Every structure is written in C-alpha cells, then in structure tokens.
Amino acid sequence: MSNRREFNNAGAGMTETAIKHSVDTKTLLDRLGRRSIVFVGLMGAGKTVIGRKVASALSLPFIDSDHEIEAVSRMSIPDLFANYGEAEFRSLERRVLARLLREGPQVLSTGGGAFMSERTRKAVARNGVSVWLKADLDTLMQRVAKRQNRPLLQTQDPRAVMEKLMADRYPLYGEANVVVRTREESKDVIAAEVLDGLAAHLIADH
Ligand SMILES: Nc1ncnc2c1ncn2[C@@H]1O[C@H](COP(=O)(O)OP(=O)(O)O)[C@@H](O)[C@H]1O
Ligand SMILES: O=C(O)C1=C[C@@H](OP(=O)(O)O)[C@@H](O)[C@H](O)C1
Ligand SMILES: [Mg+2]
C-alpha cells in the first residue's frame, strides 16, 4: 500500500494559532528526526512561500534551493541560465540539494525541476519527507505571471510549456510522501494542510 497521503480537509478540530492546525508539533518533530521537509512541485505551486510558513510554524530553519544556488554562484537564476545553460544549473542544483539534505532537520523548498533528478529523489527519500504542492494549470499560470524570473517560461507560449512540464513531471512528483492540492485557499490554510498531511504521514501511519 502506498504511504502517500492526499490531504485537503483542514477545518475540523483546529487550534487558534496564526496558522490554524491541529498538529502535535513536538511528536511531529520527534518523528521527523534529522530528516528535512522537502517541497516539490511546479513553478508557481507555492513551494517558496508555503515552505517558509511551515518552517516558521515548526521553528525549523528554512532554505530555498534557488536562493542557495544564487548565493553560492553570486548570480540570479536567469543569469545562470543565460550564462551557463540549464545543464550547469541542474548540476549545481543537485550538488546544493545533496549538501542541504545532509544538514537536516530543516524545511527545504526546491525549484520545480529539482525532483526530476533520480539522484536527488533518492537523497530526498533517504534524508527527507517530501511534500508535493499540486495546483491546476490556471492557478499556476496566474501565479507565475507576477514575476519574470523563471527562464523556462520566457517564451512565446508559456502556457504550452507549463502543460508539457505537467505531463512530464507529474509522474515523478507523484513519488512524494504527502500531496496537498492548492487553489484559492489562503497561504495559511495551505500551510495548515501541509502540517496535517505531514502529521498523517509521520504520526498516524507509523
Ligand atoms: N495559496 C496561495 N494563495 C495565494 N497566492 C499564493 C499561494 N501560494 C503561492 N502564492 C503566490 O504565488 C506566487 C508563486 O509562489 P512561490 O512560492 O514562488 O512558488 P514556487 O516556489 O512553487 O514557484 C507568489 O506570488 C506567491 O505569493
Ligand atoms: O521548474 C523548473 O525547472 C524551475 C523552477 C524554478 O523554481 P520555482 O519552482 O521555485 O519557480 C527555478 O528553479 C528555475 O527557474 C527552474
Ligand atoms: Mg520557488
């Protein structure tokens, strides 16, 4: 039986905190141990913003792999793609994530393509608990329209690119331990659903 959970029913039995959730944080952190919570999913799904909120709710360090790549290369993601190409970016992304995954527990938000690497997926399976933030095409397109910082979408038809990425990547995102759908719900509600999903995976199932 798969131990993956789809989780979308935050609402019942919640406590009144900034992020409303009903999770026993201490037990969750105990079960997490040295592993990190790793967000995967397409561009615009909310990995960066939701990851930061979940880290704050659990008092864990937060690191976004794109930010870390920009810090070590001293270059923006668009400049890295333009100057060195996607293959170099992917190689740096793999190395940065391999290092970060040894430094848990923390919350790690990855760039949308990171989980396509088999080595990274194996490292995440060993040293992390993965959360797929899953959104529909319209939601993703609305969210990525706000910024021009995603080189893969700087094309004539970004919607067609996103559709192709959905087809290519969904089977692999599907290996994540927890899946949370995200649409119009507020960021705090999504963060609470992630905490509930993690609790179901780490506490209820084990
Ligand atoms: N649940 C949500 N509700 C409203 N806006 C959201 C939500 N999740 C993400 N966003 C917005 O969508 C955009 C993309 O989010 P981001 O965290 O950068 O996605 P990712 O890191 O997965 O590419 C940001 O402007 C963010 O504020
Ligand atoms: O999906 C991808 O291949 C990418 C996603 C981006 O991160 P976000 O998913 O945080 O936007 C960033 O790593 C780069 O532009 C490539
Ligand atoms: Mg991001």
Question: Which pLDDT value is given to residue 16?
Answer: 40
Ligand 2 and 112: CB distance under 6 A:
yes
Q: Are strands 128-134 and 36-40 parallel, antiparallel or unpaired?
A: parallel
Question: Which pLDDT value is given to residue 93?
Answer: 98
In a domain, 205, yes or no: no
Give the structural domain span for 138.
34-199
- β-sheet bridge partners, residue 39: 109, 131
In a domain, 92, yes or no: yes
Tokens of 62: 């937060």
**Structural domains of the chain, count:** 1
In a domain, 2, yes or no: no
> Is 174 annotated for ligand binding?
no
In a domain, 8, yes or no: no
Residues in contact with ligand 1 by the CB-under-6-Å rule are: 41, 43-49, 109, 143, 146, 182, 185-187, 190
Q: How far does the centroid of ligand 2 lie from the alpha carbon of residue 43, in Å?
A: 5
In a domain, 25, yes or no: no
Q: CA-CA distance, 138 to 74, in Å (whole number)?
A: 33
In a domain, 7, yes or no: no
In the chain, how many H helices and how many E strands?
Answer: 8, 6
Cβ 14 vs Cβ 192: under 8 Å: yes
Predicted structure pTM score: 0.93
| Domain harbouring 72, CATH code | 3.40.50.300
Residues of the chain short of pLDDT 50, as ranges, are 1-3, 9-17
* CA angle, 93 then 190 then 134, to 5°: 55
Residue identifier of the C-alpha nearest atom 15 of ligand 1: 46
| Amino acid at position 87, single letter | A
In a domain, 23, yes or no: no
Q: What is the pLDDT of residues 88-127, one digit of tens each?
A: 999 999 999 999 999 999 999 999 999 999 999 999 999 9
In a domain, 12, yes or no: no
